[in-house]
Amino acid sequence: MKKFLVGLLLISALQPVIAMEHGGMIMDEKGMIMNANPNRLPRDCPQISENVDIIIRAGQQYAEKFTGKMFAFDTQEWDVKPCAKINITFINDDQIRHQLMIHGLPGYLYPDGMFHLELNGTGQLQASLILPSQKKTYLVHCELPQHMEKGMKAQLKVDGGDGDLPSIPGISAPVKADFYKTNWSQFSLAIIAISMLIGVAFVLLTVIYADNLITVAKSIKTRLNKNK
């Protein structure tokens, strides 16, 4: 009985360690790497064509250049050779959780066709993947609710890709453009009307008294010259 209890305790102690790495997933309190592939070649690749080191940063500050967006990657597009090995350093500059997911990869190498990096807050992760030789454009995005819709979306092209994906910030047009309705209250309309009246009055007064202002300016200039 004692041996049985000891065995159960050992199994319980090992459970967190087992859960940390299984099914192609490596996870700790900082984040998660899923389906990394540093050495297995796709079936259509006789060898790795090139090693590409890519740093991808995520954060709110990278969305400032895109109107109406809240989150973004610092770069929205990458282009690599067929059969390239990509070594990604993913850096989260925000205090909140962000992901970097690549979809459409071959399922025999990447379960569910997905490569996934995730950080629970500020920090960085590194992982590699090897792309097939197919000329294709892959979706890169954060799958957290609203993050992709708010700008955290990019594309990875192999051999120039097979076209641009929709709604890539700064690259392609949105499927449905954002529309920001203005709430015109009576107060805001009054402020606009008063501002317009002040502007019109200023222009009229300037035109009406232009000659007088010129005369006054000449008189001041003459007096200054006499006093020299």
Distance CA 169, CA 173 (A): 8
Which of the four pLDDT bands, split at 50, 70 and 90, describes residue 131? Answer: very high
CB 140 within 8 A of CB 62: no
Distance CA 218, CA 195 (A): 32
Which three-class secondary structure state does DSSP give residue 98?
A: strand
DSSP per position, 156-209:
EEETT-SSPPTT-TTTS--SS---------HHHHHHHHHHHHHHHHHHHHHHHT
Q: What is the pLDDT of residue 17?
A: 41
Q: What is the pLDDT of residue 95?
A: 95
Residue 65 in this model has a pLDDT that exceeds 80: yes
Which of the four pLDDT bands, split at 50, 70 and 90, describes residue 18? Answer: very low
Where is 155: in which H helix or E strand? strand 153-158
Higher per-residue confidence, 155 vs 181: 155
Name the average pLDDT for the chain.
Answer: 86
Distance CA 152, CA 172 (A): 14
Stretch 172-201: mean pLDDT, rounded?
81
Distance CA 141, CA 75 (A): 12
Q: What is the pTM of this model?
A: 0.69
Backbone angles phi, psi at 158, to 5 degrees: -105, 120
What are the residues facing 123 on neighbouring strands? 92
Stretch 193-210: mean pLDDT, rounded?
85
Higher per-residue confidence, 110 vs 213: 110
Which of the four pLDDT bands, split at 50, 70 and 90, describes residue 192? Answer: confident
Amino acid identity of 116? H
Amino acid identity of 49? S
For the chain, the residue count is 228
Stretch 92-109: mean pLDDT, rounded?
96
Q: What is the pLDDT of residue 2?
A: 52
What are the residues facing 25 on neighbouring strands? 22, 34
Which of the four pLDDT bands, split at 50, 70 and 90, describes residue 222? Answer: confident
Distance CA 76, CA 166 (A): 12
Looking at domain 21-202, its CATH class is mainly beta
- The domain limits of the chain are 21-202
Distance CA 136, CA 102 (A): 12
- Residue 11 Cα to chain centre, angstroms: 42
Residue 228 in this model has a pLDDT that exceeds 70: no
Residue 145 in this model has a pLDDT that exceeds 80: yes
Query: Per-residue pLDDT tens for 111-124?
Result: 999 999 999 999 99
